[in-house]
A and B are shown apart, each in its own frame.
Chain A
């Protein structure tokens, strides 16, 4: 089948180093992957096209890039699945949120420095066993997904928080952190959670699910970040806007059946956070003037006691 690719090109050494799209047309099979197409372009049409790839089997994690605006591995994306029906080209761009080196190659240095920042190794305490550290199978099962991470950077590429804040630890590093916090052989949970609970950590995730959607290996980074939030709160790290928000939200639903939107920001920032309280005033005035202020007296839904009963029954179940 005839396939058109529109590839974002960039060469820092060219006299006119401007990012631009270049189109290529080639003949591919129904079974061809995007990577097959890119390699054919490089081998047969234009030897200057630069990309990373190695295993061609979704194992090495080298060929993450944006295909039609969404991150994925070129080697496990079939052309036929992403070929626009209207005859327009498949758009291929380098991974996002990482510095561009050339064409489809990005600099992974920030990626690795964030993974390193979570101390991605086991820290057991006590005397070393004579043989290996043993862990019951059932305690390791929940880590199977996160251990499948191949560090391809697809989640980092499309993370909506990294797009506005390069200091966020990001989905890959936080998923890696969960891999050790959740490991029964690790004894450094408290220090780990303390660090993750800080700035640029677990509370900066906006829960947009981009990482879950684009991950080619089912790692579910956002799910791991939520699990880390739960672990941090359970460990007593409750002095963050995020932890207060989660508690205020839960209390509101438990006691009235629905959300008290007026109280939520106040309780999240903390009523004694004078600066934040003053910051809320202009919004409050605008909302008041436009009839958009939530009710001051938050009424419970009919039969709210039934919701409360469910909370009582389920809250302490695992």
Chain B
């Protein structure tokens, strides 16, 4: 199993722990990652660039797809936002060959052409669909027995459902729960798991953004969660980084660790917490790890 690996901006910026954990987890799972074939690939536009110019976003993503296509490898993402934006661009590029051709005209100078054969896939789906839950289970050295984990999908890995293939692969709606159960955890279900974390409003309407953080983390805690797990680094940034501020704005303790999907899998694979920078979160994971009887 080999993938053209698209890490996205955030795992190389404010969430270096996601990048590190992904490399370690994929190595143990036998998921080979080739980042070099996508050298020079740009940001997806994250939906922000698309506000102003959808075509520009589609051209940049077609360029990345063309690079992956050239390598003959399937494309893997580790960020829900990258995943969602790429899936939407790809839907437009594959549905209309004339549109794709007009986009390709701006890629030719670089010797690139997108033929429409790429199907970008998030690590979460790679684990559940390509690797298989049974293979994951077979590599587990430490089950996280009894740990109650709230799944937080966020928006871009579930909507729009058609572009993200949720209609054809309905199991994707339960993929995070499947992984939680596979590593021995218990799912702490709560109403906000597919709602917005508030990240896009962070600089636009911080008050509303913080309300989303406190609501989801408190709801998850009410359902008994010891921690929340997310496949999206932007959700992590807001739910972890702004949790102290959200807590002080409602004058209530929250203290819910927010862990990245590969960090969760990594713990079950026996990777040391500090190797996945679990000691570098804003909301401390110390108590969580002591419950698991592993030192950070």
Interface residues in chain A, defined as those with a beta carbon under 8 Å from any beta carbon in chain B: 69, 160-161, 163-165, 168, 203-204, 206-210, 212-213, 226, 229-230, 233, 240-242, 245-246, 249-250, 252-253, 257-259, 261-262, 264-265, 268-269, 279, 282-283, 286-287, 290-295, 301-304, 306-307, 309-311, 313-315, 317-318
Contact = CB atoms under 8 A, between A and B. Distances in A.
Interface string B268-284: 00000000010011100
A209 B155 contact: yes
B70 to A, nearest CB: 14
Given A250-B52, A314-B53, A315-B56, A290 B282 contact: yes
Nearest to B205: A204
Contacts of B211: 164-165
Given A230-B52, A245-B204, A283-B241, A292 B106 contact: no
Nearest to A207: B200
Contacts of A212: 159-160
Given A245-B48, A246-B52, A261 B215 contact: no
A204 B200 CA distance: 9
B39 interface: yes
Contacts of B207: 165
Contacts of B50: 226
Interface residues of B, number: 61
Contact of A315 (B53, B203, B280): B53
Contacts of A226: 50-51
Interface stretch (B124-132, B137-145, B190-198): B190-198
Contact of B280 (A209, A240, A246, A292): A292
Instruction: With a 10 A CB-CB cut-off, give which of A163, A164, A168, A233 has the most chain B CB atoms.
Output: A164
A307 B60 CA distance: 7
A174 B51 CA distance: 15
Nearest to A318: B55
B67 to A, nearest CB: 11
Contact of A259 (B46, B107, B200, B212): B46
